Structures are given as structure tokens and as C-alpha cells.
Structure 1
Amino acid sequence: MSTKILVTGGAGYIGSHAVVELSQAGYQPIIVDNFNNSQESAVAGIESILGKKVPLYRIDCADAEALRSVFAAEPDIAGVIHFAAFKAVGESVQKPLAYYQNNLGSLLALLTVIGEFKVQSLVFSSSCTVYGIPDALPVTEATPTKKANSPYGATKQMAEDILTDVAAAGGPRTILLRYFNPIGAHESAKIGELPLGVPNNLVPFITQTAAGIREKLTVYGTDYDTPDGSCIRDYIHVVDLAKAHVVAVQRLLDAQPDAAQVETFNVGTGRGNTVLEVVHTFEEVSGQKLNVELGPRRPGDVPAIYADATKAATELGFETETTLADSLASAWKWQQALAKA
């Protein structure tokens, strides 16, 4: 029997890619998702890639009783990767209460239930937003966390504090993966980023504009202190990011009794690219000219952030493999596959 890993939000963008990588690494992923911000077609894509069914439970992670039923039905779950959360920075500024209720409520319910079932390994989907607006770049894991620039970022900061306190009190050993901006899609073009409604993230808005679904792409802010005035981010291919979760799971399962109860790793490329650089690179790899509008700054956006990825390389043995151009090409391939579906 392969080792069971519960993946909350496993039908989402990053979660679906992590499920594929876990399975291909020899684990048995179990998906929990309420499909609030994902679609069942992602599960079909996962199963098409893997050539087999994956256990799926359609429940809300904030429902502790429903979570208990999953653990009861799936004995011997060895670890959990917790992705399930609302994730749009801009939306969180408009709907802060929904973000605090969902992102923290689901985590508290999960911790309660895995405590009851004595699960000792947890990988948490954190974010570079915990750094707020950093004083210096690139950010390392030792960079002080400052006031978050959005309620979304605040939920990630609070979640990290909760997990640290719970681990110190005998809860699960935890790895906090602070990741940057995932982009791209699986090479098969069977799974990828699938936003419901108007995309909140840059790359799906780019690909939808190129496909004619959106009339234009608005670049929010052109007066930042960056080389071209647009925001800087660290764009990591989603498959690279998914592989980092597999490495983190293995580290937890192999941990010795005296290992640290909580570890934190940045997961990024270590390179920053401006929004306009991403736009121009996409135009080059796709051959599509985009209708770009330059707009005002957007509430909640941090001017610039990118990772120092040294710790992940030295301690996890993890490094990214995919270039920005290849990541954007995979996103365009995915958009074209969606058009044919």
C-alpha cells in the first residue's frame, strides 16, 4: 500500500498539480475540495494524466464533522497538504470577513481533526505576502514579516502563528512553504489555472486576452520604483512548485524525533520580473500581440518581491527547473486546449 496524503483544495490550481506529482512519486493522494473555486474537470484532467482514479471527497474543510468522515473512511493517512483557501489579494481587500472566516476557519477545523486522528505531518500553503512590503530584496526566510498589505496576507501570517503554536504543543510537525507567483500549466495541457469568472491573476488574464475572451489587459500601476514602473514578482512554474510539496512531504515523513517541529522555506525562482516583462515575454513566445492598458495602482499590491531560494536548495535539495518563457508557453498551450474543449 502506498502512503496516503490528504490534499485539501486538491482540485485547485496548485493542488491538482501537486496531486499528480504525489501520485507519480509513489504516494496515494486523497483529494478534499468543495469546488467553491475549482471545477470537477480538474479531477478528470488529473485522472487522465495518471490513468487511474483518485479518491475524491466533496466537502468543505471548515466542516470538522465532514473532515472526520474522510479520516474515518481513509485509515492511516500519513500526512496532509493544506491548500484550501480563498486566494485573491484584491478580493480580500473588498471581502475581508469572508477571507478570515474561510482561511482560518478551515485551518482550525483541520487541525482539530488531524489532532484527533494523530496525523503528525503537515505541509502548509503559505505565501510571500507574509513579508508585507519588505525593506530589502530578495527576501530570505529570516526577513522580518511586516504588516500584511492585504487581508489575504494577514490570514497567511495568522495561520503560520497558529501552526507554530500548535506544533509546539505537540501538534503535527509542519513545513511552511512560502511561495511566490505560480504560473503555467502541466505539459499535457490537461490541467492548469482555471479561474472562475474574471481572473485575479496576471497570467490567465494575459492568456484570456490573447484568446479574445478579454478585450484588454490592464497593468495596474506604472509608477512603482522598478525598472519599467510596473510591479515585480517571482514567477514560478506550477509543476516546479508542486514538486516542492512532494519533497516537503518526504522530509516530514523521514524526520527524526529531534527534528524541528516547524520549518519555513521560500519556494521561488530567486528572480524578479516586472509585469511588463511578463507581458512582452508572453508576446514573444506566443506570437500574440496583446491589447494592453496602463492603469492605476491596485489596493493590496506590493511594489516588488522576489525570493532568496538558497535555503530550499541547500536543505530541501529543491530548485526550480523552468524558465519564464517556457512557463508562459505552457500557459498559452493550456488556454488553447481549453478553447478546443
Structure 2
Amino acid sequence: MLIQAHQEGRPFPITGTNYPTRDGSGIRDYVHVWDLAAAHIAAIEHFDSVLTRSKRSIAVNLGTGSGTTVRELCEAFNNVVSTPLATIDADPRPGDVAGGYTKSDRAAELLGWTPKLSLEDGIRSALEWIPVRDKLLKD
């Protein structure tokens, strides 16, 4: 939605600006898809040792562990693009919550995994993906 607003030249609505977060906007855990892929590879590589330790299945959260507010996301976006994204404050959407993010300690401990790529890297990758997506994902 953020990229679409930027491409269309319209302000991006920050829905909810009075949450108990660092800057009042909602908070989420944005992690680069390549970091997630690396975590899944690490899970395969450590599969036997993790099961030997736990003797059962075990949930492992994947994320940055700190979260990013919507305002921080917009700021990171503006660090990547040449034309800044305009934003407008808007009312929260029904059902929205202040947000959440992972506790990823188990991923580091059991898989030796932590995310390596930045939020800006993720935005850059998303912007590079859009022009080639439809050509690569033919029906």
C-alpha cells in the first residue's frame, strides 16, 4: 500500500496515531524475505540437533525482535526513494491494535539465525521486484 501510494503520487494514510508506541503509530515486525529464506535453510541444517535437544516439535519465531512503527517505515522508505512519500494521519481502522513484533531469541539460540538485511534493503528489494514481478510470475 505504501509503494502503491508513492507510485500514484498520493499521500499514504498512517491509520492510528495515538497508540502507546514510540511515535504513536502502529508497530509491526518487517523482515526481509531473504532473511526468512536464510532462517528456513538454517532450520533444515539444524533440524537433527534441535529435535535431539527438544525431542518434540518446537516453535521458532522469526523477525527483527524490535519492530518498526509505521512512521519509521515511512522514514526508511523516504531514505530509499528520490521523491519523498507524503503521509497523512488517519483514524485507526476497526479492529487494529497497537501492533506486535517477535521475540526471536530462540532462532538465534537454536538456529544461529538473526536477520542481516535492513529495512531499507527490504524496501529497495520490493521496489526492484515490482517492475519484473508480472513477467516472472506468468500464469
TM-score by length of 1: 0.36
Give distance in 2, aligned partners of 1:256 and 1:338: 37
Aligned with 2:59: secondary structure? strand
8 Å CA contact 2:61–2:103 kept in 1: the answer is yes
For residues 1-341 of structure 1, the aligned pairs below 5 Å read 205-212=1-8, 215-252=10-47, 259-338=54-133
Q: Confirm or deny: 8 A CA contact 2:46 2:110 kept in the other structure.
A: no
Residue type of the partner of 1:210?
H
More contact order relative to length (CA 8 Å, sep ≥ 6):
2
In the alignment, the residues of structure 2 paired with residue 228 and residue 299 of structure 1 have an alpha-carbon distance, to the nearest angstrom, of: 20
On the 8 A contact 1:286/1:332 being kept in 2, the answer is: no
Read off the aligned partner of 2:3 and give its amino acid letter: T
* 1:247 Cα deviation after fit: 2.1
Could you list the structure 1 runs, at least 4 aligned residues long, displaced by more than 4 angstroms after superposition. Answer: 253-259, 338-341
Gaps of 5+ in 1: 1-204
Q: Output the CA distance in 1 between the equivalents of 2:110 and 2:33.
A: 21
Q: Distance in 2 between matches of 1:225 and 1:314?
A: 30
Structure 1 position 210, deviation (Å) = 1.8
Contact map agreement 1:211 1:335 (CA 8 A) in 2: no
Question: Do the aligned residues in 2 keep the contact of 1:207 with 1:335 (CA within 8 Å)?
Answer: no
Separation in 1, partners of 2:103, 2:49: 25
Larger relative strand fraction: 1
User: Do the aligned residues in 1 keep the contact of 2:80 with 2:120 (CA within 8 Å)?
Assistant: yes
| Kept in 2: contact 1:208–1:335 (CA 8 A) | no
Inter-partner Cα distance in structure 2 for 1:234 and 1:256: 27
Give the match's secondary structure for 1:267. coil
Compared CA separation, residues 323 and 257, structure 1 to 2 (3 A) = closer
Q: Secondary structure in 2 aligned to 1:314?
A: helix
CA offsets, 1:136-182, max 9 Å, x none? xxxxxxxxxxxxxxxxxxxxxxxxxxxxxxxxxxxxxxxxxxxxxxx
Shift in Å at residue 311 of structure 1? 1.5
Shift of 1:253: 5.3
Query: Whole-Å Cα distance in 2 between the matches of residues 255 and 207 of structure 1?
Result: 39
Give the secondary structure class of the aligned counterpart of 1:266. coil
Contact 1:237 1:322 in 2 (8 A): yes
> Aligned-pair distance for 1:254?
5.9
Q: Give secondary structure in 2 for the equivalent of 1:236.
A: coil
Pick which of 230-239 and 240-249 moved more: 240-249
Unaligned runs of 5+ in 2: none
> Residue type matched to 2:34 in 1?
V
